[in-house]
Amino acid sequence: MKTSDFNFDLPAELLAEHPSEHRDEARLMVLDRKTQTIEHKLFKDVVDYFDEEDLFIFNNTKVFPARLYGNKEKTGAKIEVFLLRELDKETRVWDVLVDPARKIRIGNKLFFTEDESLVAEVIDNTTSRGRTLRFLFDGSYEEFRAKLKELGETPLPKYIKRAVEPEDAERYQTIYAKVEGAVAAPTAGLHFSKHLMKRLEIKGINFAEVTLHVGLGTFNPIEVEDLSKHKMESEEIIIDEKNAAIINKAVDAHRRVCAVGTTTMRALETSVSSNKKISAFNGWTNKFIYPPHDFGVANSMITNFHTPKSTLIMMIAAFAGRDFVMHAYEEAVKEKYKFYSYGDAMLIL
């Protein structure tokens, strides 16, 4: 398989700038792999495709306000700092992306507040836009994290050209988000409302949770034509014993097991053993899933519509078959489905 096998024409107006008015009223395209048929529904209709004792697996990662704006010492130039990963809690060292990067060199200081209570010093270059910063803050670790949260902005993807609005803090977060650590939302989960969760529960459907802290690597373009040469960025996964047992019970009972989102699927496929059992897992994954791939746990999945040549469309193609997926995407463009983070959803059975 080559990167160009996953290209298609995506009109710019189909990139969703805002979420649907109600979470569960986004559109839903339903793909049936067995019959190779496509249906058009609303997201809240997802409940009709599942029965008692079936299982939904959610990624409970929580997005933190990772985008900060500071000023460079001396020149006062405005610099965007995107927090990627905390490297050392004690010394407050973080991996970040900076923009514009050409102005930021080792030794530079960035000021984030008028009173200079939060300052960062550049201590290393990691990639063309990547830097390692040491934050200087006079206070406890809890106060430091509270200050980052206070100054930070919801990290909407760059394709959204509008300014961040107050509703984004809530809508760019799943309603079941618990474990802070993601810099991008697990977007398939954004469609679940409290009301829909209650309807699923009443029907006797079970829930399990995994944690995969979504990094910006999710959005990295593939620079190579040969997929086997692409390297994914690592993301952190946590699956505890309790949730592993819930998942294994549903698999053993041959229930419909639905991975909500590509991040959930990636966590499952990283921690599944050769005998199709999920083990408790606490570590990192750089697993890249593309056709052909034998999936070990989920037999259905929910996902958003992804951009051309992305690693995400490749995972979907591995799950549903490349030709069927590319046909469905053609249909999605024709029917004007909304794409990407705030876009519509797909259920694959």
| pLDDT at 141 exceeding the cut of 80 | yes
What pLDDT, on a 0 to 100 scale, did the predictor assign at position 219? Answer: 72
Domain with CATH 2.40.10.240 in the chain: 67-151
Average pLDDT over residues 231-251: 96
What pLDDT, on a 0 to 100 scale, did the predictor assign at position 89? Answer: 93
Average pLDDT over residues 146-156: 94
CA distance 126 to 332: 39
Alpha-carbon 152 to chain mean position = 19
What pLDDT, on a 0 to 100 scale, did the predictor assign at position 129? Answer: 86
What pLDDT, on a 0 to 100 scale, did the predictor assign at position 142? Answer: 95
Architecture field, domain 67-151: Beta Barrel (2.40)
Average pLDDT over residues 64-79: 94
Amino acid at 290: Y
Average pLDDT over residues 218-225: 84
What pLDDT, on a 0 to 100 scale, did the predictor assign at position 127? Answer: 79
* 95 band by pLDDT with thresholds 50, 70 and 90: very high
Give tens-digit pLDDT for 191-205.
999 999 999 999 999
* 216 band by pLDDT with thresholds 50, 70 and 90: confident
What pLDDT, on a 0 to 100 scale, did the predictor assign at position 304? Answer: 98
| Side-chain-side CA neighbours of residue 217 (13 Å) | 19
Residues 14 and 333: beta-carbon distance below 8 Å: yes
Alpha-carbon 347 to chain mean position = 17
DSSP secondary structure of 276-319: S-B--EEEEE-----SS----S-SEEEEE---TT-HHHHHHHHH
What pLDDT, on a 0 to 100 scale, did the predictor assign at position 250? Answer: 98
> For residues 174-187, b (16+ Cβ closer than 10 Å) or e, as one string?
bebbebebbbbbbb
Residues 188 and 61: beta-carbon distance below 8 Å: no
CA distance 294 to 297: 10
Give tens-digit pLDDT for 83-94.
998 999 999 999
What pLDDT, on a 0 to 100 scale, did the predictor assign at position 136? Answer: 96
* 339 band by pLDDT with thresholds 50, 70 and 90: very high
* 3 band by pLDDT with thresholds 50, 70 and 90: very high
Average pLDDT over residues 134-147: 96
CATH class of 3-63+169-348: alpha beta
Residues 268 and 287: beta-carbon distance below 8 Å: no
Give tens-digit pLDDT for 14-46.
999 999 999 999 999 999 999 999 999 999 999
CA distance 151 to 180: 16
Q: Which residues contact 275 (CB under 8 A, 6 or more apart)?
A: none
As a whole-number percent, the residues of the chain with pLDDT over 70 amount to 100
Domain with CATH 3.40.1780.10 in the chain: 3-63+169-348
